[in-house]
Amino acid sequence: MNDASYKKLCIANILNGVTEGLSKYSGPTRVALIFAASPEDPVSIFDPQGLLRGHESKLEDIFFANGDQWRSRIKENILSQPQNFLIPENDLELSGLIAYGGSASDFFYQMWFTEHHPDMCSICPTERWLEQASSLLVHDYNTPNAPISLLEPQNIDLVCSLLRIDGAIHLASDARIHGFGCLLDGNTVTWENMARGARYNSALRFSAANRRIIVVVVSADRPVSIIYNGIEINAFRQWQPVYHYTPELLSLKQYLNGALL
């Protein structure tokens, strides 16, 4: 996983976690982020559910109408601060939203937003969720994306935990884990099998589009599938021509338990 993909994944994972947590606490909730990782970076937005739509004019005034005054102010504030020290930033006061953010020497600016539900007794717990997101982003964004070696016994338990995360594990020929929670996709291929679900068909598409890659698909209710160049190459064949092969009769129980025909 390259550095840009790793940093994008950090942001997405934190935002998804906060969204899920706040939704359990206060009902269905959207979360968005505005940030600039370094003083020279353009202001970026991550708003997968359109939470900030309708606030464009005010955001334009805050970040662009007065040039780079806001950047100069933050540069002065963080000049002598230690690494990972987050200085709270003022709420941008967008109508109907709760916001929390900060600036730091190793992550220049971030502001998190979520909905202010009308039945909230207090916004303080929600602000603490957003504060935790801010702290996590400062830490995770700057943590090196170092591969995990499977040759080191102390890493095995960690890798087993990573396997439980939805998405694919990226295992290279150097026996190192280079990414987890990866999304696989590609152009549609004509031999997809809708009965096998999204995981299997994503592996077909991805391996068809990316040569010299082997994808192993593990499903709870199916055999392990090994896919190469868009073709399933399992060690045994699922189909045998009738003219030279007559299978043994099996009970349905044997068949369901995985006995080969």
Give residue 43's domain range.
3-141
The residue out of 141, 166, 183 marking a domain boundary is 141
Residues 97 and 36 in one domain: yes
What residue has token string 């007559």? 246
Q: Which two tokens stand for residue 87?
A: 């200085």
The residue out of 87, 119, 141 marking a domain boundary is 141
CATH number where 194 lies = 3.40.1700
Percentages helix, strand, coil for the chain (3-state, rounded to 5) are 35, 20, 45
Domain count, the chain: 2
Residues 24 and 122 in one domain: yes
Q: From the centroid of its chain, how far is CA 144?
A: 17
CATH number where 122 lies = 3.30.450
Residues 247 and 178 in one domain: yes
For 85-119, the pLDDT digits (tens) are 899 999 999 999 999 999 999 899 999 999 999 88
Residues 200 and 107 in one domain: no
Dist CA 102 CA 89 (whole Å): 5
Residues 236 and 181 in one domain: yes
For 174-221, the pLDDT digits (tens) are 888 877 777 787 888 998 888 888 888 888 999 999 888 889 988 776
The residue out of 141, 171, 200 marking a domain boundary is 141
| Helix locations, the chain, DSSP H | 3-26, 56-60, 69-78, 124-141, 156-162, 197-209, 252-256
For 135-184, the pLDDT digits (tens) are 989 888 877 666 788 888 888 888 888 888 777 888 888 888 877 777 78
